[in-house]
Amino acid sequence: MRTLILGDIHSNWWALQAAVAAAGAVDRVLCTGDLVDYGPAPRRCVEWVREHAERTVRGNHDHAVAQHVPSVGDTGLRAVAAHARNRQWEELTPELLRYLARLPVCETFDLDGRETLMVHGSPRDPLDDYAPADPAGWGDRLVGITAELVLVGHTHAPYLIQAERPGGGMTTVLNPGSVGQPRDGDPRAAYALIEAGEITLHRAEYDPTPAVEALRECGLPHEVMETAEALLRTGRRPSARGGAVRGPRSSVGAAAICPG
């Protein structure tokens, strides 16, 4: 079986098309969440994931958009989300919003003989926990977890690490990176493949100009548009302009959602 893992699409249809084309023929698709927000083409992205992904978990931005929570902020990524969120609600039908709202925050399943857990953030907090590529830090996040493979997103930076579970044994943690808004200094769309048990990280070249032009049509203020365009073209978070936007804390965002 050949499996495509992707996440953090963020309404960037052009990046999603590039990643899917570069990946080639696959037997299944898994999505680690955050289909929407920031970008200008949420409907096409959600429709594609709903049609093609075998399993998808809810990200913090999916949760916020589905619950009609306004994004508050006038600098950095918060400002981009605040000004682009109306496009999400304009494009997404009630049916697609219900789809986002009903996505599970945690999925546990067998993937080619490996017990697998998929969340957007981490098992400790599926929606909001920002979990970087730190094996020691991941050990604390695997309390009560027995999965051999954990699939996550949220950091917008790809990684593949081994972490020791507190109860013994090792877990492979895979973050495929962000399809639509990388923040690791590489603007190419990120994704991962699993084939014959081997996990590989990949990038796909694409021209961000159509996404930039579509964002301009959303009427973003000049400074906000500069931030959005710089991120799409450079893959770097504008350091002088605030931090990443987070969706609202949800009552479901507890470690108990992801049983071992």
Give the residue among 88, 70, 71 at the shortest CA–CA distance from 10.
Answer: 88
Residues 30, 59 contacting (CB under 8 angstroms): no
Q: Which residue ranges make up each domain of the chain?
A: 2-241
Give the residue among 134, 152, 189, 153 at the shortest CA–CA distance from 12.
Answer: 189
Q: Supply the pLDDT for residue 63.
A: 97
Residues 12, 180 contacting (CB under 8 angstroms): yes
Q: Residue 253: is its pLDDT beyond 50?
A: no
CATH topology of domain 2-241: Purple Acid Phosphatase; chain A, domain 2 (3.60.21)
Q: Which amino acid is at 242?
A: G
- Pairing of β 170-175 and β 149-151: parallel
CA-angle at 119, arms to 82 and 229, nearest 5°:
35
Mean pLDDT across 157-172: 96
Task: Dump pLDDT digits (tens) for 44-86.
Answer: 999 999 999 999 999 999 999 999 988 777 788 888 988 888 8
- Residue 218: band (very low, low, confident or very high) from pLDDT cuts 50, 70, 90: confident
- Cα gap 201→86, rounded to integer Å: 33
Backbone φ and ψ for 214, nearest 5 degrees, come out as -65, -35
What angle do the packed helices 42-52 and 94-101 form, to 10 degrees? 60
User: How many other CB atoms are there within 10 angstroms of residue 197's CB atom?
Assistant: 10
